[in-house]
Amino acid sequence: MLTKRYGDLRTVAAHTDGDCHLCHESLDLDLYGPTGHFGPETVTVDHLVPQSVGGGDEPDNLRLAHGSCNSRRGTRDVAVARLELAGTSDAPLSSGEKAAWSIGAGSAVALGAGHLFARQLPDGTREFNGEAALVAGVLGTLFVRAIL
């Protein structure tokens, strides 16, 4: 969705993988508009540094938020508002960050499974189990991605 003032909202949404940066719940870009226009699910653009204290419309200063979350934040510090609305002061992860965490966790699970289910060879040594590593790695990656 393109806007005159902020450009492509998908670019702004990418910072948080399409989640409200304040409450961490998902957003529907089709519901972009003035606060309250689509009820509590209205999507608005929030400025990390409020305009009232000099924040501009640079892409790094913009995040998407539900209109109700944006209104509750007002000009308060972002971390304080997130803590109140989402229970954490951290921003939601971007899709790239989620992918990195998923791949990293899947890789760790794969290594562990490969060693845990290693094959006992006739000479008493153990051989890394690549099949167990592959299955566990894929499942671990999918599981972590699903919960992020």
In this structure, what are the phi and psi dihedrals at residue 129, rounded to the nearest 5 degrees? -95, 95
Can you tell me the distance from the alpha carbon of 61 to that of 13, in angstroms, rounded to the nearest whole number?
12
Q: What CATH code is assigned to 2-86?
A: 1.10.30
Q: What sign results for the dihedral spanned by CA atoms 139, 141, 145, 148?
A: positive
Q: What is the pLDDT of residue 88?
A: 96
In the chain, what are the domain boundaries?
2-86, 95-147
pLDDT over 90 (residue 78): yes
Q: What are the tens digits of pLDDT across the range 21-74? A: 999 999 999 999 998 999 999 999 999 999 999 999 999 999 999 999 999 999
What is the pTM for the complete model shown? 0.78
Which three-class secondary structure state does DSSP give residue 26?
strand
The arithmetic mean of pLDDT across residues 95-108, rounded, is: 94
Q: Is 43 helix (H, G, I), strand (E, B) or coil?
A: strand
